[in-house]
Amino acid sequence: MRIYNTLTQKKEEFKPIEPGKVRMYVCGMTVYDYCHLGHGRVLVAFDVISRYLRHRGYDVHYVRNVTDIDDKILRRAEENGEVYTDLTERMIDAMHEDEARLGVQSPNEEPRATAFIGEIISMIETLIAGGHAYAADNGDVYFAVDSFPDYGKLSKKKLEDLVAGARVGVQEAKRSPADFALWKAAKSGEVSWPSPWGDGRPGWHIECSAMSTKCLGDTFDIHGGGPDLLFPHHENEIAQSECATGHKFVHTWMHAGAIRVNKEKMSKSLGNFFTIREILETYPAEVVRYFLVSSHYRSQVDYSADSLAEASRTLTKLYHALRGVTPASSDDVPETEHDRRFAEVMDDDFNTAGAIAVLHAVANDINQHRREGDEEKAAYSAAVLVRLGSVLGLLQQDPEAFFQADTGSELNADDIEAMIQARAEARKAKDFAESDRIRDELLEKGIVLDDSREGTTWRRA
């Protein structure tokens, strides 16, 4: 298996620190608002990665944190006139709802920053004792970036360029404009915790270092996150973690690609910002997941109505192949050439686009077996399709449930069945004009009828 390592900027053979086991940490949400599609990209990308590692037989310990104390959280809580913990609990519940609808499995651990204040303070004390951090006169504690010679090794940025490009009016409390806060002194009336440097709260970067090393050890296999976290967040994590522990922090760094909307980066300022739940009001959750999975996790993804429509069409083809077929027990179906091809492409830096192509090849086999009247082979191929689909978090629904899922249509299932029955009676009476009228009315309302020798089935367009 080869994985692209952002640190070395090349694909490397993956060799876990402990044979057969993978320790993986992914930066999670700052819970002050609903998750947007960019969050969904990261959630789904690393869900697929953890699923595939387990599929390959690894014992995966997956940690994804929650940042539940932050400037944005405190500002939003103040704007709402609510206690910040009420805001964070509400947003964490919403996040869990969103990820469940997208088929994202829960991580093994989901640490919250506020539960690790003791570990954060201890790490800061270690950094100060080692000459890597200092307490400023204003009550803040800063990391001394120039104390870590390797600073910039992840982002390939040079410290002298960062200092030269620093904004005018740098806080006087800092020794260097590149230094960053490990502990922030509390403002009057602000939520805080006691510390050796006075009441305050942790800086963002130190939270992840304390949580990841506590949950996974000083050195672990994979650290992931969104593209915007590479600098400064992940760069700062490396600096403070390696200075605190004296060990290499992470072996493999992975970053998901950005989401764009109609060729532009998704942002609130451009008015093209969509939450996951807004999107799921219009599109079925599995279609959205398929859209996200069908591109390589490192690539930029362009979100548009056309791209979602294409995802719906191609996912529908896969479910069509499964419709009316009872898959054989997966245990009865040995490894096939499709399984081997699937592993080959996924072993190449989790090439999900290639894996999707394999799924469609299996679907073609099912259709061919059915045309030939070989139901046993069709059932075996269906088992392979469901088995491989599960690794991507796809094709686990009953096909009828997929086709008939209600996404806000004015007709419910009972209404549709009644109209199909009326159409059947019209056809029986040879009233084909009425039969056609009912079919056309259903089609206008987004309901497609499929007639076969076994009867009529329906699906939402």
- What local confidence, expressed as pLDDT, does residue 120 receive? 98
C-alpha to C-alpha distance for 37 and 289, rounded to whole angstroms: 11
- What local confidence, expressed as pLDDT, does residue 172 receive? 67
The confidence band for 167, taking pLDDT boundaries of 50, 70 and 90, is: low
- What local confidence, expressed as pLDDT, does residue 83 receive? 96
Listed residue (2, 25, 28) closest to 221, CA to CA: 25
- What local confidence, expressed as pLDDT, does residue 168 receive? 43
Q: DSSP letter string over 71-91?
A: HHHHHHHHHHTS-HHHHHHHH
Topology annotation, domain 260-403 = Four Helix Bundle (Hemerythrin (Met), subunit A) (1.20.120)
- The pLDDT of residue 122 is above 70: yes
Q: Is 268 annotated as a binding residue?
A: yes
> Cβ atoms within 10 A of the Cβ of 333, count?
18
Q: Is 27 annotated as a binding residue?
A: yes
C-alpha to C-alpha distance for 226 and 235, rounded to whole angstroms: 13
Listed residue (79, 45, 38) closest to 64, CA to CA: 45
Q: Is 208 annotated as a binding residue?
A: yes
Span 236-267, pLDDT tens digits: 999 999 999 999 999 999 999 999 987 777 66
Enter the CATH code of domain 2-256.
Answer: 3.40.50.620
C-alpha to C-alpha distance for 395 and 176, rounded to whole angstroms: 54
- The pLDDT of residue 411 is above 50: yes
Buried b (16+ CB within 10 A) or exposed e, 62-88: bbbbbbbbbeebbebbeeeeeebeebb
Q: What value does the mean pLDDT of the chain take?
A: 93
- The pLDDT of residue 270 is above 80: no
On whether the CB atoms of residues 296 and 351 are closer than 8 A, the answer is yes
> Cβ atoms within 10 A of the Cβ of 235, count?
23
Q: Express as a percent the part of the chain with pLDDT over 70.
A: 96
Helix (H) or strand (E) holding 42: helix 37-55
- The more confidently predicted of residues 142 and 263 is 142
Phi, psi at 180, each rounded to 5°: -130, 155
- The pLDDT of residue 357 is above 60: yes
DSSP, collapsed to helix, strand or coil, labels residue 54 as helix
The residues near 260 (Cβ < 8 Å, ≥ 6 apart) are 266, 300, 301, 302, 303
This model's pTM is above 0.75? yes
Tell me the longest C-alpha to C-alpha distance in the chain: 91
The residue assigned the tokens 């599609």 is 37
